Amino acid sequence: MHYKEATVENLEAALRDARSRTLALIEGLDAEQLLGPRLSTTNPLCWEIAHTAYFHEFWVLRHLGRRQEILPDSDRLFDSISIPHETRWELPLPSMADTLQYMEDVLSAEVSQLGEVKLEDSAKYFYLLALFHEDMHGEALTYTRQTLAYPAPAYLGDPAPANGASAPENEDIECAGGRFLLGAERNGGFTFDNEKWAHRVTVAPFRMARHAVSNQEFAEFVEARGYTTREYWCEAGWQWRQERDLECPVYWRKDSDHSWYAREFDQWHALALAQPVIHVSWYEAKAYCRWANRRLPSEAEWEFAAACDPEEGTSGMPCKRRFPWGDEACGDCANLDAGESGLAAVHAHPAGDSALGCRQMLGNVWEWTDSTFQPYPGFSPDCYTEYSRPLFGQTKVLRGGAWATRSRMIHNTWRNYYGPDRNDVFAGFRTCAK
CATH number, residue 344 = 3.90.1580.10
Domain co-membership, 401 together with 315: yes
- Decide if 287 is inside a domain: no
User: What Rg value do the Cα atoms of the chain yield, rounded?
Assistant: 22
DSSP 364: S
Q: What is the pTM of this model?
A: 0.97
How many domains does the chain contain in total? 2
Q: Which of 20, 12, 13 is nearest to 154 (CA)?
A: 20
Verify that 14 and 121 share a domain, yes or no: yes
State the CATH number of the domain containing residue 46. 1.20.120.450
Alpha carbon distance 294, 381 (integer Å): 35
Within a domain: 275: no
Q: What is the largest CA-CA distance in the chain?
A: 65
Q: Which domain-ending residue is among 125, 156, 187? A: 156
Same-domain check for residues 194 and 327: yes
3-state secondary structure 171-230: CEEEECCEEEEECCCCCCECCCHHHCCCEEEEECCEEEECCCCEHHHHHHHHHCCCCCCH
Q: Residue 376: its pLDDT value, please?
A: 98
* 229 assigned to some structural domain: no
pLDDT of residue 418: 98
pLDDT of 189: 87
| Boundary of a domain, candidates 90, 124, 156 | 156
User: Does residue 232 form part of some domain?
Assistant: no
Q: Are residues 131 and 190 in the same domain?
A: no
203/178 Cα distance (integer angstroms): 5
Q: Based on the domain organization, do 130 and 59 belong to the same domain?
A: yes
Count CB atoms within 10 A of the CB of residue 136.
Answer: 15
Are both 144 and 77 inside the same structural domain?
Answer: yes
Q: Is residue 35 domain-shared with residue 141, that is, in the same domain?
A: yes
- Please identify, among 156, 189, 204, the residue that sits at the C-terminal boundary of a domain: 156
Ranges of residues in the chain with a pLDDT under 70 are 159-163, 312-316
Q: Is residue 223 part of a domain?
A: no
Based on the fold, state whether residues 204 and 126 are members of the same structural domain. Answer: no
Domain of 330 in residue numbering reads as 172-213+295-433
Secondary element (H or E) of residue 45: helix 45-56
| 299: in domain | yes
Does 108 lie in the same domain as 45? yes
Query: Is 330 inside a domain boundary?
Result: yes
311 and 195, same domain (yes or no): yes
* Domain contains 340: yes
* Closest-CA residue to 140 (of 132, 56, 261): 132
**Same domain, yes or no: 152 and 183:** no
Query: How many Å apart are CA 287 and CA 429, to the nearest integer?
Result: 12
- Asked if 212 and 430 count as a contact pair (C-beta separation under 8 A), the reply is yes
Does residue 150 share a domain with residue 12? yes
Cβ–Cβ < 8 Å for 99, 50 = yes
Give me the helices (H) in 280-408, please: 282-292, 299-307
- Supply the pLDDT for residue 188: 82
d(CA 180, CA 56): 36
398: three-class secondary structure by DSSP: strand
* Residue in 57, 46, 41 with CA at minimum distance from that of residue 22: 46
pLDDT at 162 (0 to 100): 66
